[in-house]
């Protein structure tokens, strides 16, 4: 059972430091790699009408608008007031303060491309079907939905309990693929890998800041114990390196 109130509270708390996290910093090689791949797999051009559900602070969308020279404003949907406040600063976005599930059921919205970046795991299994069905209905003929998510088995340098928690919260990829197929999409899967090098101090600070929502499931004692585990595992290391594997699911409306 997904606790929406808890998720809301998490993003409210993290909103201020969100853009400082390596995974969400603007103008980095990491972000550029994602943007190039989003442009490619969504086949975006200047005329495209894009909706991004769970857009957060709108940083990805505003950068996309720039590199694709989008003429039409991007529908930037997020239920979190604090996150969306940042998106309101970009004139290329049309911020919509709304839950994603409610948005996809609204017949007034229509677009050719849809982006779901790092948000699909915030819906329950039943909601995932409804989300894809709603997007299918809102998409124009030949429309595309791109879901960016991560594997259930993670390579991130988390402490053991956090690895377990991740697996518990992150549904298997096949569930997202199956849901899209049932709704009428043809689905392709691509992996987008990027090697991350980060100072141990910065990584530990991120953990302390509970940068991803599964870390907010731990109380201070558990988190501190976990951080000690990481400190011991990487004793003598200045830098930690790991692979960031993003799963791109491209759903073609047919
Ligand atoms: C990990 S962040 C990703 C933000 C952005 N897509 C990015 O990649 O930077 C997840 C976002 O999903 C939003 N979210 C959570 N539950 C949602 C829901 N039911 N409908 C729409 N968005 C939701 C959160 O408010 C948060 O901004």
Write out the DSSP string of 30-48: HHHHHHHHHHHHHT--TT-
- d(C-alpha 200, C-alpha 207), whole Å: 11
Kindly give the distance from the C-alpha atom of residue 100 to the centroid of ligand 1, in angstroms, as a whole number: 9
4-197+244-253 carries CATH number 3.30.160.100: no
Q: Token pair for residue 128?
A: 């995932």
Give the number of the atom of ligand 1 that is nearest the alpha carbon of residue 115. 6
Instruction: State whether residue 89 is helix, strand or coil.
Output: coil
Instruction: Give me the residues of the chain with pLDDT under 50, please.
Output: none
The pLDDT of residue 1 = 74
- d(C-alpha 88, C-alpha 84), whole Å: 6
- Per DSSP, 85 falls in state H
Give the number of the atom of ligand 1 that is nearest the alpha carbon of residue 122. 16
Ligand 1: does its nearest atom lie under 6 Å from the Cβ of 121? no
Yes or no: say if 147 and 176 are a contact pair by the CB < 8 Å rule: yes
Kindly give the distance from the C-alpha atom of residue 232 to the centroid of ligand 1, in angstroms, as a whole number: 33
Ligand 1: does its nearest atom lie under 6 Å from the Cβ of 15? no
The pLDDT of residue 241 = 98
**In 3D, which of 146, 118, 123 has the Cα closest to residue 211?**
118
Question: Which residue among 56, 57, 87, 126 is best mutated to probe the pocket of ligand 1, counting the most ligand atoms within 8 A of its Cβ?
Answer: 56
pTM check: above 0.95 = yes
- d(C-alpha 76, C-alpha 64), whole Å: 12
Question: Which residue among 20, 34, 119, 130 is best mutated to probe the pocket of ligand 1, counting the most ligand atoms within 8 A of its Cβ?
Answer: 119
C-alpha distances in Å from residue 73, one per residue of 81, 94, 227, 248 = 20, 6, 43, 23
Yes or no: say if 85 and 116 are a contact pair by the CB < 8 Å rule: no
């Amino acid at each position: 059972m997904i606790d929406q109130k808890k998720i809301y509270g998490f993003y409210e708390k993290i909103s201020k430091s969100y853009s400082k996290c390596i995974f969400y910093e603007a103008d980095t090689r990491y972000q550029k790699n994602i943007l190039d791949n989003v442009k490619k797999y969504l086949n975006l051009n200047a005329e495209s009408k894009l909706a991004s559900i769970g857009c957060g602070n709108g940083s990805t969308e505003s950068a996309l608008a720039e590199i694709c020279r989008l003429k039409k404003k991007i529908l930037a949907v997020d239920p979190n007031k604090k996150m969306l406040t940042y998106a309101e600063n970009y004139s290329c976005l049309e911020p919509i303060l709304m839950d994603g599930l409610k948005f996809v059921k609204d017949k007034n919205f229509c677009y050719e491309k849809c982006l779901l970046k790092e948000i699909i795991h915030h819906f329950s299994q039943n909601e995932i079907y409804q989300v894809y069905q709603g997007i299918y209905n809102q998409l124009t003929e030949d429309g595309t939905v791109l879901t960016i998510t991560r594997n259930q088995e993670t390579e991130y340098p988390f402490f053991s309990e956090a690895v377990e928690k991740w697996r518990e919260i992150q549904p298997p990829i096949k569930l997202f693929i199956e849901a899209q197929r049932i709704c009428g999409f043809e689905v392709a899967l691509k992996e987008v890998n990027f090697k991350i090098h980060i100072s141990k101090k910065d990584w530990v600070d991120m953990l302390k800041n509970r940068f991803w929502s599964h870390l907010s499931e731990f109380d201070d004692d558990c988190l501190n114990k976990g951080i000690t585990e990481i400190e011991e595992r990487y004793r003598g290391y200045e830098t930690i390196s790991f692979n960031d594997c993003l799963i791109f699911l491209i759903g073609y409306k047919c």
